[in-house]
Amino acid sequence: MDAPSRRTPIPWPLPRLLGTRWSRTLFLSILVGLLSGLAARALESLVDLGFPRLIGQVLNSKPGSRFEPHLGVLVLPMLGGLASGLVVAFLCRPTRAHGTAVLIEAFHHGSAELSLRDSALKAFAAAIVISCGGSVGKEAAIAVLCAAIGTAVSRKLGGGVRERRHFLAAGCAAGVGAIFQTPLGGALFACSVLYSEPEFEAEALMPSFIASVTSYSTFMAFGGYGHRLLSGTERLTFSHPLELVPYAVLAALCASASFFFYHSLRIASALRRRSGLPRWSTAAVAGLIGGGIAVAFPQIMDARYRFIQGALDGSLGPPPFEGFALCFLFVVLAKCIATALMMGGESAGGLFGPVVFIGGVVGAATGALIQLVLPGAIPETLRAALVPVGMAGVLAASLRTPLAAVVMVTEMTGSYGLIVPLMLVSVASYALGRRYGVYAEQVRTPEESPAHAGDTVRSWLESRQVRALIQSDWPHVTDPRATLPETLAKIPPGTQPVLIVVAQGAVVGFISTAELLSATDLTDGKEIIVAADIMNASTPCLRSDDDLYTALERFRQAGVDVLPVVARDGRSFVGVLERASMLREMREHMATRSAAALREHAAFSTLANDVQLDDLLAVLSQKNTETVVRMRVPSEALGLSLRDADFRRRFGVYVIGIETNGRLFAPPDPQRPLGQDDVLIVMQTRHPADSP
């Protein structure tokens, strides 16, 4: 159930013709994509500005892309980690997860709530860390920032938790698709990274596709089209079935690299917890250690993939394969350790970029090892093809996104001729290394996610329209000019109906228990108070073509048991919808489904009997048969506790529970101040018409 918003949602600004579910999704997807594309370009520009002026000044390379170590690499990663630690520790709220895991945690357990301010600060800090040579990626920064943009846009336009989850994924897709120039891969990544099994968040696919395309187009409009992560890969092809043998070896090595990286991350996190260092300093210490590693292996600071490009096109030099094999192996180990230390130290940044780098080096190492063991066994083109395929293999195993890995590497490198080995290695490495994924926040399937609890009931509610349950002969209708005594006279003794205020056939508001109690508590001026003065005109009416899920949400917001229903024109009164009728319909539906389940699975009858026994005992134990209704908090009681408000004396009701933020508190805390988002569950001890 959606948690109530802290502020009144902004009404949908477009006409009804453009305010349908699909047109709203299209509009929000384009808007999120546009903003995300600008954010991705801003982050990329920060890295482009900082990298050559900071670590680029001390990390020298020869024309052949062979790096030379420099003692300056020891200091800059520490300074970048220190800057990140200060930002994260003192300017951002603490979170249980870090990197891309933040948005996974928010999707499943955080009601799709992400702080836009904190996300922007962490993106800025990540740009500093990368510019200083820290071994982190920029995908987490932009993915979380754009996911926060998606949730913020949805929230500002009155979207609920379910819609915010969709645009959290769409924002992630837009950010990743833009900054890595992989619009299709970004959408698939955002919808699959939430789960450890090869599952997709199906309802987020359409907004993710639209947002990713829009973001990619916006990003490229400011930076030019046609750039690839690696050059020369478009000429590589799969040409013979025997080539699958070295690719199978590559899949095993990709899974092994994923295994080592997983344990490096766990050990680094454990070391941080045991170190006792202040939170703001851990990233600086990790940067210092990473800088020490980079003195020996400066390749781990390569945020531009020049080392991998050199391994692919042979520009690293003549091929002494025994030396290259050892070099590649040590670079993989060094990159895993340096990245694990930075992430374990809670540095801003992510894992995607380092994982892609590790995969490319694993591919180069595989080619060097095969050439070392079986000289001349594989052609030069196959050795080069192992590099982009290795990227997909480690990506699939570590992030547990096999399909997204295939598509993203294909888009990043243009290696469309390698689709067969990409599929083989991604699926095989995922199968071998899936237990060692780097995101512990992933859940196995949508069925295990709290975000999908109640999906079956929700789908049924969305399949039924309000018109099926309309009570068209609602007798409790009044005119907006009716005085308070006239309004009270329309209420039959012993009942507590919702009065619908209708003017010339159009609904202008309704009067519920809360409005009546507030009005009857006044001692003076009752004769001059009219229905228009006390009616609730802020809650929108239901339309006959709204679905029951929308109606349920509207009931929660209004805090009443009856809502007026208007025709599709938005004004003409056609009847009311009672919460009780929805409950009866749902019970009948569930009873039908339960009967079908019992017919198919006889073993369920044991549990069914236990449930019926519990229900019977609950009914027999009920002693109070007074009518229970929901009501909003009267304005004069806002900010007061139940004890101070004295509802029993002033309003003639006894408060037995409070609904707030989707939770029911019964019995309620008598000392807790009442807020405007609270809904009171009350039993009436006297009728409003009996008030003095």
* Cα 166 from Cα 201, distance rounded (Å): 8
- pLDDT over 60 (residue 19): no
Average pLDDT over residues 187-203: 94
β-strands 562-566, 506-511 pairing = unpaired
pLDDT tier at 480, thresholds 50, 70, 90: confident
Average pLDDT over residues 171-182: 94
Q: What kind and span of H or E run contains 573?
A: strand 573-578
Per-residue tokens: 690: 């009996």
Classified as helix, coil or strand, 324 is: helix
SS (H, E, C) 124-146: HHHHHHHHCCCCCECHHHHHHHH
- pLDDT over 80 (residue 442): yes
pLDDT score, position 18: 42
pLDDT score, position 95: 83
Running DSSP on this structure, what letter comes out for residue 280? G
| Range with top average pLDDT, 444-448, 457-461, 494-498 | 444-448
**∠ Cα 374 376 378 (to 5°):** 90
Per-residue tokens: 342: 């930075």
Residue with tokens 């005109």: 537
- At 23, which amino acid appears? S
- pLDDT over 70 (residue 171): yes
pLDDT score, position 635: 80
Q: What kind and span of H or E run contains 533?
A: helix 531-534
Average pLDDT over residues 449-453: 86
**What is 372-419 written as a DSSP string?**
HHSTTSS-HHHHHHHHHHHHHHHHHHHH--HHHHHHHHHHHH--GGGH
pLDDT tier at 10, thresholds 50, 70, 90: very low
**What is 626-683 written as a DSSP string?**
--EEEEEPPGGGTT--HHHHTHHHHTSEEEEEEEETTEEESSPPTTSPP-TT-EEEEE
The percent of residues above 70 in pLDDT, for the chain, comes to 86
Average pLDDT over residues 165-190: 95
- At 142, which amino acid appears? I
* Cα 281 from Cα 287, distance rounded (Å): 10
- pLDDT over 50 (residue 35): yes
Per-residue tokens: 62: 């020869």
229-267 in b/e form (b: 16+ CB < 10 A) is bbebbeebbbeeeebeebbebbbbbbbbbbbbbbebbee
The percent of residues above 90 in pLDDT, for the chain, comes to 45
Q: Is 495:513 a contact under the CB 8 Å cutoff?
A: no
* Cα 498 from Cα 500, distance rounded (Å): 6
Per-residue tokens: 329: 């192996």
**∠ Cα 5 116 282 (to 5°):** 125
pLDDT score, position 158: 79
pLDDT score, position 375: 87
Q: Which of 1-10, 82-91, 105-114 has the lowest mean pLDDT?
A: 1-10
**What is 451-512 written as a DSSP string?**
GGTTHHHHHHHHHSBGGGG-BTT---EE-TT-BHHHHHHTS-TT--PPEEEEETTEEEEEE-
Residues in the chain: 692
pLDDT score, position 521: 60
As a whole number, the mean pLDDT across the chain is 85
pLDDT tier at 6, thresholds 50, 70, 90: very low
- pLDDT over 70 (residue 200): yes
Q: What kind and span of H or E run contains 67?
A: strand 67-68
Average pLDDT over residues 50-54: 89
- pLDDT over 80 (residue 245): yes
Q: Where are the alpha helices (DSSP H) in 546-603?
A: 548-558, 579-600
pLDDT score, position 383: 92
- pLDDT over 80 (residue 569): no
Nearest to 231 by CA among 62, 384, 378: 384
- pLDDT over 90 (residue 528): no
Running DSSP on this structure, what letter comes out for residue 227? -
pLDDT score, position 539: 78
- At 450, which amino acid appears? P
* Cα 38 from Cα 171, distance rounded (Å): 12
* Cα 361 from Cα 1, distance rounded (Å): 47
Question: Measuring CA to CA, how many Å separate 150 from each of 50, 111, 374, 578, 584?
Answer: 27, 13, 52, 34, 37
pLDDT score, position 247: 97
- pLDDT over 90 (residue 627): no
pLDDT score, position 65: 40
- Helix then strand then coil, in percent of the chain rounded to 5, is 60, 10, 30
Phi first, then psi: what are they for 190, rounded to 5°? -65, -35
* Cα 27 from Cα 562, distance rounded (Å): 32
pLDDT score, position 611: 58
Q: Is 119 left (phi over 0), alpha (psi -120 to 50) or beta?
A: alpha
* Cα 367 from Cα 597, distance rounded (Å): 56
Nearest to 78 by CA among 412, 296, 327, 341: 341
pLDDT score, position 685: 58
pLDDT score, position 364: 94
Q: Which domains does the chain have, with CATH numbers?
A: 21-224+242-450 (1.10.3080.10), 465-583 (3.10.580.10), 628-690 (3.30.70.1450)
Average pLDDT over residues 408-426: 95
**What is 235-275 written as a DSSP string?**
G-----GGGHHHHHHHHHHHHHHHHHHHHHHHHHHHHHHHH
Q: Which of 66-70, 106-110, 316-320, 631-635 has the lowest mean pLDDT?
A: 66-70
- pLDDT over 80 (residue 176): yes
* Cα 631 from Cα 496, distance rounded (Å): 11
Q: What is the pLDDT of residues 294-347, one digit of tens each?
A: 988 888 988 888 889 988 888 776 555 566 788 899 999 999 999 999 999 999
- pLDDT over 70 (residue 614): no
Per-residue tokens: 636: 């004069």
* Cα 598 from Cα 606, distance rounded (Å): 10
Q: What is the pLDDT of residues 655-682, one digit of tens each?
A: 888 888 767 787 788 888 898 888 888 8
* Cα 455 from Cα 261, distance rounded (Å): 36
Per-residue tokens: 273: 């917890």
**∠ Cα 596 598 603 (to 5°):** 155
Q: Is 99:140 a contact under the CB 8 Å cutoff?
A: yes
Average pLDDT over residues 481-497: 76
Nearest to 87 by CA among 284, 273, 270: 284
pLDDT tier at 593, thresholds 50, 70, 90: confident
pLDDT tier at 620, thresholds 50, 70, 90: very low
List of residues 6+ apart from 481 with CB closer than 8 A: 530, 531, 532
Classified as helix, coil or strand, 103 is: helix
Give Rg (Cα) of the chain: 31
Average pLDDT over residues 421-443: 95
